[in-house]
Amino acid sequence: MTLIRPRCKPPEEIAGEQTDVHIYHGDCNDVLLNQVFPRTRYEQYVRALCLLDPYGLHLDWRVIETAGKMKSIDLFLNFPIYDMNLNVLWKDQAGVEEAQLARMDRFWGDRSWRDAAYSTAGNLFEIPEKESNEKLAEAFRKRLVSTAGFKEVPEPVAMRNSKGATVYYLFFASQKPVAKTILDQIFNKYRKML
């Protein structure tokens, strides 16, 4: 079987002669922190919208936290719950590879995700059981406010595959109440379509 990929133009060709377009190559975690974010200083009245679309647990929490603390960046984030469930959030945590745990720690920022992902409540033998995807997403939403410093983080939207399984949650985080109001309207309209 031969796989045919559509030919895409390189970004440099798409940008053409536009001088206000900058193309960076490399690890997005380093590029965002060292080359892009420094250009969006609150003190200079510069604002930015950052779209973080990791395929899996490849994003470093420092990127999210830096964006929140800068107060000049709003962001959309695809929260990769499918990758988390597939590789990290197992019933038996002893079987999870250390490399997978490290990826989750890096994405979450520390190991506190375990408190959000597992609970012994309602379990007679106090055996940790996995919480729902919704509870984990809500814990991350609270973390965006309490730890990253975003003031406005609406409830995320669950994005599902054709079989109805949640693949990721779409988060929005901002400093501005008006931005949250607008996104709440958009997210709620999408939820009604489901």
Domain chopping of the chain, boundaries: 45-193
Q: Which pLDDT score, from 0 to 100, does residue 4 have?
A: 63
Separation CA 43–CA 40 (nearest Å): 9
Distance CA 93, CA 83 (A): 15
**Furthest C-alpha separation in the chain:** 66
| CB neighbourhood size of 61 (10 A) | 17
pLDDT at position 148 is 98
Rounded Cα distance between 54 and 188, Å, is 24
State the amino acid at position 61 in one-letter form.
W
Whole-model pTM: value is 0.89
Question: What's the pLDDT at 192?
Answer: 80
Q: Are 179 and 153 in contact (CB under 8 A)?
A: no
Helix 98-108 / helix 61-70 crossing angle, nearest 10 deg: 0
Distance of CA 166 to the CA centre of its chain: 14
List the chain pLDDT tens, one digit each, 194 residues.
Answer: 555 666 788 888 888 888 888 889 999 999 999 999 999 988 888 899 999 999 899 999 999 999 999 999 999 999 999 999 999 999 888 899 999 999 999 999 999 999 999 998 877 777 788 999 999 999 999 999 999 999 999 999 999 999 989 999 999 999 999 999 999 999 988 888 76
Exposure b/e, 7-33, CB count within 10 A at least 16 = b: eeeeeeeeeeeeeeeeeeeeebbeebb
